[in-house]
Structure 1
Amino acid sequence: MKEWVFELHNYLSTLNKSVSPHVNMVFGDYKHSRLVLNWITAAVNVIQPPLHNVLVLSLDNRLCDLIASRTLPVSCVAVAKNTIFNIDIINNNINDKIPIIWLQGSMVRNVILRVINYWGYDVASYDSDAVLLKNPQVLYDERPHINLFSSAGTFPFDLSGEWGFTLCTGTLMFKASPAIESLWRHMSSLSEKDEQVTLNNALLQMNSVWQEKTPVNKMCTNKEGWEGRGEDDIRIYVFPPQVFCRAGCCKPTMSRNTLYNAHPIGSKTILSAKEAVLKEMKAWFL
């Protein structure tokens, strides 16, 4: 059995569910260590109440070693890519439009998320540039019937043209349930190379419908969010951009009274520019 399986199982067995009912997982690698450290600082030192049960998922040990050297109140699990998939097969079938590190990272992340759900734990998943400005637990608690939460995006564009939005994989919450296990099965049956395309197409495959639709050019002004339902009783809620903002919907002038999560960086933004964008959003804390 792979070493990371034991590490992950040991981590989950020590969780304190009295302070947080779920795992809060942020994904990153050593190259993006400053983004990860900024995310952790916001989550455990800045927001009140702080986030607990924070797990960093890394593709190698260097980031975990760095975090351990800082004695931060988080755990880190390193998962070697070759323990999840055959690297040669992935490299030979890569889409030139998708950086290989994105593809490899998303595959690893989805496996870990599914394993955590399989073992009966709810898990929130965050990109390292999706910075928390408030603890979102109260938002999850307000909708106990929902088993999949997400921020709003526009990709894949064919679906946002139909729905008025899509689910963004930069901020997600999966509740361990038969509905979510069904979602994972649908996702694993698809051959898409992009995790956001996979997630949204899986929901389409599950015949998900929404209580209301918004034209995609009005997405940023939606204040209520979008609630949907699909096969196997999957219940979905997509937060409005005033609460969880993404890319073009994020503005430095947004009210901090309503904003819980700032993910202002476009997926193709170069690393050197990401820190500046987060500083402009007042979401940089190092």
Structure 2
Amino acid sequence: MTAARNAFKFVFALLFLLLLQHSVIHRETVYYISEEYSTIDDSEPLRKKEFRNPKSDSDPVDVATYSQPQVISSITPESDVLFPYPNITHLPHDILNSPWATEMKAKLEAAKIGKQLTYVTVSMNYFSVLINWLIYAKSNAMPLLENLLVVCMDKPSHDILSQKGILSQLVRINDIIYSIKDMDGSGIFSARVITRLTILRLLNYWGYDVLIMDIDALLINNIQPIFDHLHDSDIIVSTANATNCLPSAARKAWSFCLCIGLLLIRGNANTERMWQELGSTPVELAASDQTRFSSILITSNITWTPFDYDTNYYLKGKSQNKDITVIALPQEVVCRNQCNATRLSSYYAYHPMTTHHVDVKHDVMTAQKVWRVSNRWNLTRKTVQSTMDWLNEVTAG
């Protein structure tokens, strides 16, 4: 009986040691679930990334994205820059040292982009809208086109722009968003918005003054002289006065909303503090870039004062608890919800209200006679041309 009990204890101890060893191995092994995600346009599937457990000699596992802790990780001295969607995007160090960021910075330096650059984003299903924007910029605001960066969220649009000599960078949304699992069409749209604002913050961090524009905000006149005159401002932004403009908190506090369809934000110490504060609070995926950007100014107890410049009434906002100056442009300079097609030449930028659907944008701009893209633009997708030659060819009539 004693021998049987001793044998039982030996077997039990052996099983316990085996179980303990398995547990240790299990904790040291990182498992990733490979899933395919498709975009809402006709571009190729999102690029997969390759990860290897540093403690494992096994083959790398192919994954579409990797998981990040739901809580915001502490920022180390190696990576002290914060980004505006901290609980949704990759860790700051991973963004700063990513291959796409390294490549983009090298491209900007090689192109000798000046202190101020113009920045827009595009995906293939909005490519004709970008062409229309480029045509207007070429005709009316060449200085803003000379230092242009286009961030492409799919490879087809990047390939076309590369062939036309336009400075572009491919950044897919899962290069920014750490998880895109189960996103529907609206989620993908929000992810693109988050991608756009994250890259804007990165460009500011690198020291650039960035003019970011929606590609349906058409440049009718060269707005650069206004920017130069208002050189003491940290931020210059267009406005919307619609009864349902977002965010509602701004509408209630100011009786108008800021519209980042046209936004110049300078890369300086004042805006750096703003970005750092934005990056210190988590946010929902659905929070738009306009809402996210306005939120920090709302909490700044900003006070708006009218001032006269170029016969139009602008608003100068000064924060009471942050050293930051914001200029809000009137509708007469950049129209939004009060656009009048018969007064087109009087605007600096023409930004009519439309939905996010590309067909609606096309129909609205066609009806208002601001659509200048030839139907044959698709035939030029694979031709190698200079920027000006290409834009001349795809301009209608």
Mapped partners of 2:215, 2:344: distance in 1: 22
Mapped partners of 1:245, 1:116: distance in 2: 26
Identity of aligned residues (%): 25
Shift of residue 212, structure 1, vs aligned partner: 4.5
Shift of residue 250, structure 1, vs aligned partner: 1.0
Q: Do 1:134 and 1:260's aligned partners in 2 also have CA atoms closer than 8 Å?
A: yes
Aligned to 2:349: 261
Among 235, 239, 245, the alignment partner of 2:329 is 239
Shift of residue 4, structure 1, vs aligned partner: 1.2
Are the structure 2 counterparts of residues 274 and 29 from structure 1 closer, same or farther at C-alpha, using a change threshold of 3 Å? same
Q: Do 2:150 and 2:168's aligned partners in 1 also have CA atoms closer than 8 Å?
A: yes
Aligned to 2:259: 168
Among 284, 289, 301, the alignment partner of 1:207 is 301
**What's the secondary structure of 1:87's corresponding residue?**
coil
Mapped partners of 1:13, 1:99: distance in 2: 35
Aligned to 1:225: 314
Mapped partners of 2:295, 2:208: distance in 1: 24
Mapped partners of 1:269, 1:195: distance in 2: 14
* Aligned amino acid, residue 233 of structure 2: I
Task: Map 1:54-73; keep pairs closer than 5 Å.
Answer: 54-69=148-163, 71-72=164-165
The reply on whether 1:28 has 2:122 as its aligned counterpart is yes
Mapped partners of 2:158, 2:199: distance in 1: 16
Query: In terms of Rg, which structure is larger?
Result: 2
Shift of residue 255, structure 1, vs aligned partner: 4.9
Per-residue Cα deviation, 1:177-220 (whole angstroms, up to 9, x for no partner): 1111122123222515221111111101222111159xxxxxxx
Mapped partners of 2:313, 2:238: distance in 1: 12
Mapped partners of 2:110, 2:182: distance in 1: 34
* Aligned amino acid, residue 322 of structure 2: D
Per-residue Cα deviation, 1:153-182 (whole angstroms, up to 9, x for no partner): 231133213202111121111101111112
Q: Do 2:238 and 2:258's aligned partners in 1 also have CA atoms closer than 8 Å?
A: yes
User: Could you tell me the TM-score, scaled by structure 1's length?
Assistant: 0.85
Shift of residue 109, structure 1, vs aligned partner: 1.1
Per-residue Cα deviation, 1:41-97 (whole angstroms, up to 9, x for no partner): 221x2115442111111212111112223x14x211111222212224684xx8xxx
Among 65, 71, 76, the alignment partner of 2:168 is 76
Q: Do 1:275 and 1:284's aligned partners in 2 also have CA atoms closer than 8 Å?
A: yes
User: Could you tell me the TM-score, scaled by structure 2's length?
Assistant: 0.62
Aligned to 1:135: 222
Task: Map 1:92-171; keep pairs closer than 5 Å.
Answer: 99-153=186-240, 154-171=245-262
Name stretches of at least 5 consecutive residues in structure 2 with no aligned partner.
1-96, 374-397
Report how many residues are paired.
Answer: 265
Aligned-pair Cα RMSD in Å: 2.3
Are the structure 2 counterparts of residues 3 and 90 from structure 1 closer, same or farther at C-alpha, using a change threshold of 3 Å? farther
Aligned to 1:47: 140
The reply on whether 1:276 has 2:363 as its aligned counterpart is yes
Per-residue Cα deviation, 1:90-121 (whole angstroms, up to 9, x for no partner): 84xx8xxx922331111111111111111111
Name stretches of at least 5 consecutive residues in structure 1 with no aligned partner.
214-221
Mapped partners of 1:139, 1:4: distance in 2: 33
Shift of residue 144, structure 1, vs aligned partner: 0.9
Q: Do 1:228 and 1:236's aligned partners in 2 also have CA atoms closer than 8 Å?
A: yes
Q: Do 2:316 and 2:327's aligned partners in 1 also have CA atoms closer than 8 Å?
A: yes
Mapped partners of 1:28, 1:21: distance in 2: 23
